[in-house]
Structure 1
Amino acid sequence: MTNQLTSDALGDDYRTWLAELKQRVERARQRAAMSVNRELVTLYWQIGRDILERQQRQGWGARVVDQLARDLKAAFPDMRGFSPRNLKYMRALALAWPEPEFVQQPAAQLPWFHLCTLLDKVKEPAARDWYASKSLEHGWSRSVLAMQIETRAHARTGSAITNFGERLPPPQSDLAREALKDPYIFDFLNLTEDAQERDIEQALTTHITRFLLELGAGFAFVGRQYRLDVGGDEFFVDLLFYHLKLRCYVVVELKTTQFRPEYAGQLNFYLSAIDAQVKAPEDHPTIGLLLCKEKNRLVAEYALRGVAKPMGVAEYQLLREVPASFESTLPSIHEIEAELRHDLKNDS
């Protein structure tokens, strides 16, 4: 028999104190890891800058990178990261962010392989900075960062047609506008273009984690076919969310047709009902999002001018479009048929 104390025996005060200590230790560990990463990335940027400067000043070619890799590996045999490939990434890093202020920018705080992903996949400096900033802000993993780049999140964010500027005060309207995209990409549902609204709703809730990732940071799922009782009549909201940063409910209505002006009236009614029956006094006004298969931009703009509630209109895609830059590299139908005929001829 031992006299060892337990957490339960020490009571609630001890358990509360222990929980606080655990949080403090975890925060310290995270800060230490971030500090180490920042020092490493800064070192890599400095090495890349030196390679660039000496190649330009001394006229050294690409082979100096291979020699430098061998010499650094010999000097630091226990240290990883000095392969020729990694040194070329360091050079690319210094070329992408040439100013000394790089060490103060969001990119300098990202893990090294996040930066390699940015250097591989994003060529426009402004877009690269956007992804670096959002990745740091939202804590994207490397795979999530790659997915956001592949779906061109930077070009879609803030692109929905809205009336937020007229219906919300400036700070809230700007945040709300940035919370919406156009178009939304639902290729993870594995549905065809003729899928019905209920099929899409069901698939979105089944894949809610991926759906929330596509919606963006801050969305919390409340329910599907959310029931409203208005004067004894029942109405059902397709999808209801709460946005933690905007501090408001978000009603999402899904339409498998082109946008029609009457859809805005229906959504306006739902927003009024949510504001009256669900919204707490401290919540901001509920906003709406109409997701349509397609839209006439001018028709949508006109329709939103006449509604009292804040809402936006965006398209959704069940299949991701092939980027224009890839289209020229894809073979035509005639080329594929010619290749098949050639193969069959050789086989015979």
Structure 2
Amino acid sequence: MLINQSFVTDIKSIISDSRENAIRAVDHQRTLMYWHIGKRIFEEEQAGKGRADYGTYLIKYLSEKIQPEFGSGFSIRQLERYRQFYRTFPIASALRTQLSWTQYKLLLSVDNEDERAFYIAETIKNNWTSRQLERQVYSNLYERLLISNDKESVLAVAKKEKLPSDAKEIIKDPILLEFLGMKREAAYYEKDLESAIITHLQDFLLELGNGFSFVARQKRIHIEGDEFYVDLVFYNRLLQCFVIIEIKTQKLTHQDIGQLQMYVNYYDRIEKLPRENATIGILLCANKNDAVVKFTLPEGQKQIIASQYKLYLPTEKQLLDEVNKELVSFEEKDIN
């Protein structure tokens, strides 16, 4: 007797979805439990706030009473975290079922309210795992996007309040490639970096940002008998355009910009469909001179972007220094 194989597939899907929903529901109940514990601790603490060190004594006393019965999840450190959780997210109905307790714990380390809102929106929109959220927080994704954008645009795109109208709203500078595992102080050819990106394509797509899908590697194009090879080709469904990436392991030159411009022109005139938007070109380079980029390209153009890559995570201070540098630059432009 023949059985339709889609029947078995459907049953497996029902089981998997039900298990996932059950796990998510249990985790959300745990999250709510921690929130209510944090709320009750805070209320009791406020009742005795006139007494010195009452809060510290209260948590220590509570831990001694309940940890022997309920386990290490109610240590002094954990109870302090539950109190912080309530104070950071004071409205229970605003807690998102899509976020796990592990993800909320990560978000407690983010002090800025706008930054937290950004990571919450991005986690839900992209269905990030806890590990992916951790990587984005520790690589300072929010600050990197702010380097070339204003805060309102970054938050609006993350919350789906607007679609990106400019590639710079979703493309970062710098792009962090620490997941490639390249050794420090070693010289790399462009093909080495390209091969490493392909090997870690899923991580690279996560780093590129929203809406990217891989199209081709070393895409061959013919121009009047001459052959050229484009390093990497992607498509972005939010921008509705091709995105070409050229890798340069040396300092960026005006010839590199001209080469990428030729590839972008080719895709616009040959590959792009009428309904699609203009092709974006990204020069992924080890080092760049922004002035060279500025004077090589026409004023106001939005198709060519030079983004520096870093093989190791910079410190938060280094990224904040870059943000402040950009803010000073914008202020000087406004004055002029």
Superposition TM-score tier, normalisation by shorter sequence? 0.7 to 0.9
- The TM-score normalised by the length of structure 2 is 0.76
Note the C-alpha offset of 1:289.
0.9
1:129 maps to a residue whose letter is A
Aligned to 2:201: 208
Query: 85, 91, 94: which one pairs with 2:83?
Result: 91
CA contact (8 A) 1:156 1:181 kept: yes
1:23-56 Cα distance to aligned partner (Å, 9 max, x none): 3444344334333333322231122122112112
Give the letter aligned to residue 95 of structure 1: R
* Closer, same or farther: CA 247–79 of 1 in aligned 2, 3 Å: farther
Deviates more, 1:132-141 or 1:297-306: 297-306
Instruction: Find the aligned partners of 2:283 and 2:177 in 1 and give their Cα distance.
Output: 15
Structure 1 position 172, deviation (Å): 5.7
Q: How many residues align?
A: 303
* Gaps in structure 2 of 5+ consecutive residues: 154-161, 319-336
Match of 2:101 in 1: 112
Query: Structure 1's 287 and 267: CA in aligned 2 closer, same or farther, altered over 3 A?
Result: same
Whole-Å separation in 1 of the counterparts to 2:300 and 2:219: 22
Give 1:68's aligned residue. Answer: 62
Matched position secondary structure for 1:126 = helix
Query: What is the Cα deviation at residue 315 of structure 1?
Result: 1.0
Aligned to 2:132: 144
Relative to structure 1, the CA distance from residue 227 to residue 219 in structure 2 (aligned partners, 3 Å threshold; closer, same or farther) is same
Matching residue of 2:34: 44
Q: 1:129 to 1:193 in 2, by over 3 A?
A: farther
Inter-partner Cα distance in structure 2 for 1:131 and 1:310:
27
Aligned mates of 2:193, 2:184 — CA distance in 1: 8
What residue is the counterpart of 1:316 in the other structure? 309
Distance 1:191 1:274 in 2: 36
User: Helix, strand or coil: the match of 2:120?
Assistant: helix
Query: Structure 1 residue 235: deviation in Å?
Result: 0.8
Note the C-alpha offset of 1:231.
Answer: 1.8
Task: Quickly say closer, same or farther: Cα 1:302–1:46, change in 2 above 3 A.
Answer: farther
Q: Is the 8 A contact 1:158 1:180 kept in 2?
A: no
Query: Which residue of structure 2 aligns with residue 333 of structure 1?
Result: none
Of all paired residues, the percent bearing the same amino acid is: 30
Shift of 1:294: 2.8
Report what 2:169 is aligned to: 178
C-alpha distance after superposition, 1:139-197 (max 9, x if no partner) = 32223222222211111136459xxx9xxxxx664363333101012233225364332
Post-superposition shift, 1:236?
A: 0.9
Change over 3 Å in CA distance of 1:57–1:175 after alignment to 2: farther
RMSD in angstroms over aligned alpha carbons?
Answer: 3.3
Query: Which of these residues, 121, 127, 131, is aligned with residue 133 of structure 1?
Result: 121
Q: Which structure 2 residues correspond to residues 7-86 of structure 1 after superposition, within 5 A? A: 9-11=2-4, 15-59=5-49, 60-73=54-67, 77=69, 81-86=73-78
The answer to whether 1:287 aligns with 2:280 is: yes
- Determine the C-alpha separation between the residues in 1 that align with 2:212 and 2:56: 48
